């Protein structure tokens, strides 16, 4: 039986006891990490340098890419180091840091996705008021509010979680520190307090989900009233990437957090956590690049500047 004062580190899940498989997992995670970094950084650089992308939709997309880079960087470097060095431990402070930043970035990610749905709603349903409603100041305020909301939610959970007494050991049945897994190690006297705080977060998630669904109901009803096929295609082409990303993020998160938890490690837990934490940041650049012609055009310009000229002024 371990209490909080005696827990100096936590033991994370080992993918395999075979050294060859650990090297394989290291290479796999390295490829995923580089892919996520390159894809999202390309979007960030393209939005910053190309003045054609200086609009609310791509401003929020840049924020989403920054959050995706942060989310994957909280998890994968430690996972890769563990696989390469054949270790499974993470310090108490490191675990708390991982919980805080992961909760902060994922919470802000959800809020940004909600704001992006509202942006598409205003653009399609109230086009004459778009520039007035989605002005520069309003966009900065909405993006800042999303970041602040994610941070406050994460501070609340991290502070409460690590005030617990861990009397059920220090073995985390996952490859990174996550609140549902840590809850299994806590004592019952504070367990229900954290469950109540998770209920508050669930209400926040549900509110964002309802706002997104309501926005898209209005969007699709407005799109179906557009007389021209070209107009409908343009409207759908800007909405479908966001809708795919939202669905992937929310439903994988619901599956990871609200499935029944077991007291022994399982492949389902591992797959659910990987889908929720790794797949969305990896897929977002692909989805937006494939469906967004402006992003594709900006990336082609950027590639031309990097590989065929020494000037980046072509983007400006």
Q: Locate the domains of the chain by residue range.
A: 4-315
Q: At residue 122, what are phi and psi to the nearest 5 degrees?
A: -65, -40
Please tell me the distance from the alpha carbon of residue 129 to that of residue 45, in angstroms, as a whole number. 29
Please count the other Cβ atoms lying within 10 Å of the Cβ belonging to residue 242.
27
The size of the chain, in residues, is 316
Q: At residue 166, what are phi and psi to the nearest 5 degrees?
A: -90, 95
pLDDT tens across 62-80, in order? 999 999 999 999 999 988 8
Buried b (16+ CB within 10 A) or exposed e, 13-29: bbbeeeeeebeebbeeb
pLDDT tens across 163-204, in order? 777 776 788 878 888 887 787 777 756 667 667 777 777 788
Most confident range, picked from 119-133, 159-173, 243-257, 266-280: 119-133
| Mean residue pLDDT across the chain | 80
Q: Give me 47's structure tokens.
A: 């939005």
pLDDT tens across 228-264, in order? 776 677 666 767 777 777 777 777 777 766 665 555 5
Q: Which CATH class is domain 4-315?
A: mainly alpha
In which band, very low, low, confident or very high, does the pLDDT at 37 lie, cut at 50, 70 and 90?
very high
Average the pLDDT over each of 128-132, 155-159, 217-221, 243-247 and give the range with the smallest value: 243-247
Give the global pTM: 0.85
């Amino acid at each position: 039986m371990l209490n909080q004062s005696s827990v100096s580190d936590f033991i994370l899940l080992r993918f395999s006891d075979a050294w060859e498989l650990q090297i394989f997992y290291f290479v796999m995670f390295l490829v995923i990490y580089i892919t996520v970094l390159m894809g999202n950084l390309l979007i960030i650089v393209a939005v910053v340098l190309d003045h054609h992308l200086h609009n609310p939709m791509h401003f929020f997309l840049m924020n989403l890419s920054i959050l995706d880079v942060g989310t994957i960087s909280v998890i994968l470097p430690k996972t890769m180091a563990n696989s390469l060095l054949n270790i499974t431990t993470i310090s108490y402070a490191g675990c708390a840091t991982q919980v805080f930043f992961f909760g902060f970035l994922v919470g802000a990610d959800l809020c940004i996705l909600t704001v992006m749905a509202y942006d598409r709603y205003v653009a399609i349903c109230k086009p004459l008021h778009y520039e007035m409603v989605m002005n520069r100041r309003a966009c900065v305020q909405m993006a800042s509010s999303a970041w602040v909301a994610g941070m406050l939610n994460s501070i609340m959970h991290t502070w409460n979680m690590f005030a617990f007494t861990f009397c059920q050991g220090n073995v985390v049945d996952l490859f990174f520190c996550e609140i549902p897994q840590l809850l299994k190690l806590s004592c019952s006297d504070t367990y229900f307090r954290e469950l109540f705080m998770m209920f508050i977060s669930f209400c926040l998630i549900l509110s964002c989900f309802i706002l997104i669904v309501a926005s898209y109901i209005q969007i699709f009803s407005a799109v179906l009233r557009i007389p021209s096929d070209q107009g409908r295609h343009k409207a759908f082409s800007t909405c479908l990437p966001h809708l795919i990303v939202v669905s992937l993020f929310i439903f994988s998160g619901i599956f990871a957090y609200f499935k029944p938890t077991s007291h022994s490690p399982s492949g389902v837990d591992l797959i659910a956590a990987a889908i929720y934490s790794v797949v969305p940041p990896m897929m977002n650049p692909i989805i937006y690049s494939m469906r967004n012609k402006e992003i594709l055009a900006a990336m082609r310009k950027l590639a031309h500047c990097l590989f065929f000229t020494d000037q980046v002024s072509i983007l400006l």
